[in-house]
Structure 1
Amino acid sequence: MKQNILLLFMTFINVGFLHSQNLVNESSHYNPMDFYVSSFNPTTGNAYRSSNGTPGPLYWQNSSDYVIHATLSEKDTTVFGDVTITYTNNSPDQLEYLWLQLDQNIFKPDSRSVAATRYPGDYFGVLGNPKGGYQIKNVTINQGENSYAVQPIITDTRMQIRLNTAMQPKGDQISIKINFSFVIPIDGAARFGRQDTKNGVIYQIAQWYPRMCVYDDVEGWNTLPYLGLGEFYCDYGNYDYYITAPAEMIVYGSGDLQNAQDVLTKEQIKRLSLASKSDRTIAIISSDEVGKPAMRPSSKGYLTWHFNMNNTRDVAFAASKGLIWDAAKINLPSGRKALAMSCYPVESAGDTAWARSTEYLKASIEIYSEHFFEYPWNNAVSSAGITEGMEYPGMIFNNYKETKASLWFLISHEIGHNWYPMIVGSNERRYMWHDEGLNTYVNFIANDIFNNGEYETDPSYFEKDFFASRDYKQFMQYKDPLMTMSDAMDEEQHWQFYGKTAYGLNLLRTVIVGKDRFDYAFRKYTEAWAFKHPTPYDFFHCINNATGEDLNWFWNEWFYTTWKLDQAVASVSYVDNDPAKGSLITIENKGKMIMPVIIKMTQMNGQTETVRLPVEIWARGSNWTFKYASTSKIDKVIIDPENQFPDLERKNNEWKNIK
Structure 2
Amino acid sequence: MKRLFVIILVVTNSFILLSQNPVNSMLPVEVKKAYQNGTRTLSGVPGPNYWQNHARYQINVELKVEEDLLIGEEKVTYFNNSPDTLKRLVIRLYPNIYKKGNPRQWPIGDGINDGMVINSLSINGDSIDWNNREAVYLFSTNLSVFLPEPLAPGDSLEMEAGWQFEVSDRTIRMGKYGSNAYFIAYWYPQIAVYDDIDGWDEIEYLGAVEFYNDFNDYDVHISTPPGYVVWATGELVNERDMFSDYVLKNLMTARVSSKITRIFSVEDFKKTRKIIRHDGINAFHTNTWYFTAVHVPDFTFAVRRDVNWDGSSLVVDETTQRRVFVDAVYADSARTYQNAARWARASVEYMSFELPGVPFPYEHMTTVSNDRMGGGMESPMMANNGDPKDSTDAALTIFHEISHTYFPFFMGTNERKYAWMDEGWAAFLPMGFGEKYFPEYPYRKRFVERFEGTNGTEREATLITLSYNLGDYDSYRVHAYVRSALAYYFLRNALGDSVFKVALHTYMKRWYG
TM-score norm. by structure 1 comes to: 0.68
1:353-407: per-residue Cα shift (whole Å, max 9, x none)? 1122112112212222234332222111101115630000000000134541111
Matched, 1:480 2:457: no
Q: Which residue of 1 aligns with 2:132?
A: none
Q: Which residue of 1 aligns with 2:500?
A: 518
Q: Which residue of 438, 447, 454 maps to 1:468?
A: 447
Q: Which residue of 65, 74, 83 maps to 2:56?
A: 65
Matched, 1:377 2:358: no
Larger Rg: 1 or 2?
Answer: 1
Change (3 A) 1:469 1:275: farther
Distance 2:174 2:187 in 1: 10
Q: Which residue of 2 aligns with 1:87?
A: 78
What does 1:53-452 correspond to in 2, within 5 Å? Answer: 53-113=44-104, 124-142=106-124, 147-151=125-129, 152-169=136-153, 171-189=154-172, 191-196=173-178, 200-293=179-272, 294-300=274-280, 301-333=285-317, 334-348=320-334, 353-370=336-353, 371-372=355-356, 373-385=358-370, 388-448=375-435
Q: Deviation at 1:434?
A: 1.6
What does 1:525-536 correspond to in 2, within 5 Å? Answer: 525-531=507-513
Change (3 A) 1:348 1:100: same
Give, as a single letter, the amino acid of the residue that structure 1 aligns with 2:307. L
State the SS of the aligned residue for 1:421.
Answer: helix
> Retained in 2: the 8 A contact 1:105–1:132?
yes
Distance 2:155 2:367 in 1: 38
Provide structure 1 residue ranges, at least 5 long, that are not aligned to the other structure: 14-34, 118-123, 532-659
State the SS of the aligned residue for 1:235.
Answer: coil
Q: Deviation at 1:158?
A: 0.4
Q: Deviation at 1:245?
A: 0.3
Give, as a single letter, the amino acid of the residue that structure 2 aligns with 1:482. L
> Retained in 1: the 8 A contact 2:171–2:177?
no
Q: Deviation at 1:502?
A: 0.9
> Retained in 1: the 8 A contact 2:365–2:381?
yes
Distance 1:272 1:150 in 2: 45
Q: Deviation at 1:469?
A: 5.8
> Retained in 2: the 8 A contact 1:290–1:324?
no
> Retained in 1: the 8 A contact 2:387–2:394?
no
> Retained in 2: the 8 A contact 1:345–1:400?
no
Q: Deviation at 1:472?
A: 4.2
Q: Which residue of 2 aligns with 1:454?
A: 437
Q: Which residue of 2 aligns with 1:502?
A: 485
> Retained in 2: the 8 A contact 1:193–1:386?
no
Root mean square deviation of aligned Cα: 2.6
State the SS of the aligned residue for 1:112.
Answer: coil
Distance 1:39 1:90 in 2: 30
> Retained in 2: the 8 A contact 1:107–1:127?
no
Change (3 A) 1:390 1:132: farther
Q: Deviation at 1:292?
A: 3.2
Change (3 A) 1:378 1:518: same
What does 1:630-645 correspond to in 2, within 5 Å? Answer: none
State the SS of the aligned residue for 1:494.
Answer: helix
Distance 1:456 1:418 in 2: 25
State the SS of the aligned residue for 2:110.
Answer: coil
Q: Which residue of 2 aligns with 1:601?
A: none
State the SS of the aligned residue for 2:422.
Answer: helix
State the SS of the aligned residue for 1:276.
Answer: helix
> Retained in 1: the 8 A contact 2:53–2:214?
yes
Distance 1:291 1:68 in 2: 31
Change (3 A) 1:401 1:302: farther
Matched, 1:50 2:32: no
Distance 1:322 1:377 in 2: 27
Change (3 A) 1:39 1:442: farther
> Retained in 2: the 8 A contact 1:109–1:127?
no
State the SS of the aligned residue for 2:409.
Answer: coil
Q: Deviation at 1:36?
A: 7.8
Distance 1:456 1:289 in 2: 38
Change (3 A) 1:36 1:445: farther
1:635-655: per-residue Cα shift (whole Å, max 9, x none)? xxxxxxxxxxxxxxxxxxxxx
Distance 2:241 2:227 in 1: 13
> Retained in 1: the 8 A contact 2:227–2:269?
no
Give, as a single letter, the amino acid of the residue that structure 2 aligns with 1:488. N
Q: Which residue of 2 aligns with 1:538?
A: none
Q: Deviation at 1:445?
A: 3.0
State the SS of the aligned residue for 1:415.
Answer: helix
Percentage identity across aligned positions? 27
TM-score norm. by structure 2 comes to: 0.87
